[in-house]
A and B are shown apart, each in its own frame.
Chain A
Amino acid sequence: MVPVVEMQGVTKVYRSGSGARTVEVRALAGVDLTIQKGEFVALMGPSGSGKSTLMHIIGLLDTPTEGEYRLGGNSVRGLSEAQLARIRNRRIGFVFQAFFLLPRLTALQNVALPLVYRGLPPALRLERARRTLEAVGLGDRLDHLPAELSGGQKQRVAIARALVQEPDLLLADEPTGNLDSRSSEEILALFESLHQQGKTILMVTHEPDVAARAQRIVRLRDGRVVEGGRP
């Protein structure tokens, strides 16, 4: 079976300054990572370990300096900005710590937003957004603005926004970081149920008890995977 994420020797070097004063920061120093379809993986590591960089590369918001990254079996090397955007739109569903809902759009419109960039007609978009919101248990909050929702509800809207894309990979960056424990539990339960439905999930977290809910824990230290790189 083709893995959803397959990385070999991925490095990321940030350069700043020029000439003799060039400063190199090696954020990733050769990452090997494989995530199979249907897995629920937690990515852990101290700050500065390269978690964010790795997540950005997996989410196609950034590109590796060296090494090979295949998403669903296809190498992403040399793709244009527009091609990467298109793949993000179809294959990656982002869930952020701070939700990032557009405050002036209703829950329904927020969820429909990724489909705008897929060129779907409005009626179809809204219909799919409605069904997805219902699936995460927010069928009665369609026309609420983000400000009218609780933290847990906001994150569920954000998850619905990722799900509506029907992505190959759900990429969650500290999804419970801004939530109280009850809401966190709610969200983790939602992730577990999505996992049972066969979704592939990669969750970045620094909380061990959150990570423990995942099927496998990948530990990152100094830009390298030190544990759990393979299923």
Chain B
Amino acid sequence: MNPLENLRMAFESLWANKLRSFLALLGIVIGVFSVTAMVSLGQMATAGITQDLEAIAGRSIFVQPNFNEGHDFSTAPIREEDLRSLEGLPAVVIPQLFGNLQYEARPGERRSIQLQGTPGDLPRLDPTFKIARGRYFTEAEARGGLAVAVLSDRAAKDLFPGREAVGQVVRLFYPGGGRLELTVVGVLAPPAGIFGGLGAAATVYAPIPLVWNTSPTARRGEYAFLVLSLKKEADAAQVKRQVERIFEARHGKGRYQITSTESFQDTLRSITRILQVLLGGIAGLSLLVGGIGIMNIMLVSVTERTREIGLRKALGATSSQIRQQFLIEAVVLTLLGGVLGVALAAGLLLLVTLAVPFFVYILSPITVLLALAVSALVGLFFGVWPAARAAALNPIEALRYE
């Protein structure tokens, strides 16, 4: 008796009890559906996170002085020589300055705002910067230290609520009292994606030499931090190690902190992975419950078909053939449930992708195969006992059974 025959017999007997088979199946459908959906949603979230993070921070490496207790940040500044030592790496090096200033929101009420000194033409150097209106100040304007500024979307809204910021003059105050008046030449586009909020600070971008000239704390030739915007072919981890080595060689261990957006992404990914395992595990419990349902139904089926089993044995079926018959029936049942569960999960994922653009549709073939394999295994595992009971039936007793 070949397996195909058994398979056909299994379908026939399941079909004969349509309602019961379907109800037994439901547990597996729900189990496979939840596991598949959870795992895939996790993958989709990870992909969404990666995409969004690249949109706001690109693939870049940050270099900044480490905060050492008892020392000022300025004890470990970044100088021109440091910039030159990084030449040759597959990245655009963007030195920047940083300061905390204030502006007058209403007469007598001052609020703080960030000032960031950058080279000119920043959007060309770092593709995560996008101009919404106006333009970025040019390299020449920057080098000349002209009193021009570009505002972040947030800053434009804070400084010029309800008005067009481009063309206006911003008046800022250093903590010491020094005044800075800048002409706004452009406004940046607001950052996109669910992590947009991270980059949504109110920031005024101004030429580096201007900050050197006007800030009471900044010293000419020293930068607050560096952004290395990685080129396409660059390996983030490798470049990060190289930068670490260069700064260690020049300044000693532990004075600079070097982070890459990829390590941040890795952290987020490991969080989503933990969530995925957790949720998948919980969903796995429903699969267990479904499996027990299958076992129950199979036991009922064995009891109900006691006479059939007795007859088959009398006609020459061996115990192992009977066992095989019931095992295959259980596996067919759970596998059907698995197929339905995966199909439902695929539908849900599609709906989620359509409803929330953050998610990218992912239903990997491995997930599908795994889901089907697991459902078959559930059938095998929970079918063993009922099948063994069927196989162990004494044909004489079974034929006498009413």
Q: Tell me the A residues contacting B by CB distance below 8 Å.
A: 56, 59, 61-62, 81-82, 85-86, 88-90, 94, 96, 100, 102, 104, 113-114, 116-119, 122, 161, 165
Contact = CB atoms under 8 A, between A and B. Distances in A.
A206 to B, nearest CB: 17
A117 B310 CA distance: 14
A197 to B, nearest CB: 22
A116 B312 CA distance: 10
A117 B315 contact: yes
Contacts of B16: 104
Contacts of B396: 56, 61-62
Which of B308, B312, B321 has the largest count of A CB atoms less than 10 A from its CB?
A: B312
For the complex of A and B, 4 pairs with smallest distance between CB atoms: A89-B316, A85-B318, A114-B315, A117-B316
A89 B312 CA distance: 10
Contacts of B282: none
A59 B314 contact: yes
Which of B13, B314, B316, B395 has the largest count of A CB atoms less than 10 A from its CB?
A: B316
A85 B1 CA distance: 13
Contact of B308 (A85, A88, A102, A118): A102
Contacts, number: 59
Nearest to B17: A104
B315 A113 contact: yes
Nearest to A117: B316
A94 B320 contact: no
Given A59-B314, A85-B316, A116 B399 contact: no
A7 to B, nearest CB: 18
A113 B321 CA distance: 13
B5 A116 contact: yes
B307 interface: yes
A117 B313 CA distance: 10
22 contacts: A59-B314, A61-B395, A62-B396, A81-B319, A82-B318, A86-B318, A88-B315, A88-B316, A90-B316, A94-B314, A94-B315, A96-B399, A102-B308, A104-B13, A113-B312, A117-B312, A117-B315, A117-B317, A119-B1, A122-B5, A165-B315, A165-B316
A56 B394 CA distance: 12
B309 to A, nearest CB: 11
B139 interface: no
A161 B2 CA distance: 21
A88 B13 CA distance: 25
A150 B287 CA distance: 47
B13 to A, nearest CB: 8
Nearest to A102: B308
Nearest to B305: A102
B314 A104 contact: no
A61 B395 CA distance: 7
Contacts of B315: 88-89, 94, 113-114, 117, 161, 165
Nearest to B317: A117
A100 B318 contact: no
A114 B316 contact: yes
Interface in B1-51: 1-2, 5, 12-13, 16
Interface string B306-340: 01101111111111110000000000000000000
A100 B319 CA distance: 19
- Interface SS of B by simple majority: helix
A117 B1 contact: yes
A82 B313 CA distance: 10
A94 B315 CA distance: 7
Contacts of B317: 85, 89, 117
Contacts of A62: 396
Contacts of A122: 5
A118 B320 CA distance: 14
Nearest to B308: A102
Nearest to B311: A100
A104 B12 contact: yes
Nearest to A93: B315
Nearest to A105: B12
A81 B314 contact: no
Which of A89, A116, A122 has the largest count of B CB atoms less than 10 A from its CB?
A: A116
Contact of A85 (B310, B313, B399): B313
B1 A102 contact: no
Given A82-B319, A85-B319, A117-B316, 20 more contacts: A61-B395, A82-B318, A82-B320, A85-B317, A86-B316, A88-B316, A100-B307, A100-B310, A100-B311, A102-B311, A104-B13, A113-B315, A114-B315, A116-B1, A117-B315, A117-B318, A118-B316, A122-B5, A161-B315, A165-B316
A61 B396 CA distance: 7
A88 B396 CA distance: 14
A167 to B, nearest CB: 10
B316 A100 contact: no
A94 to B, nearest CB: 5
A122 B6 CA distance: 12
B311 A117 contact: no
Nearest to B315: A114
B69 to A, nearest CB: 81
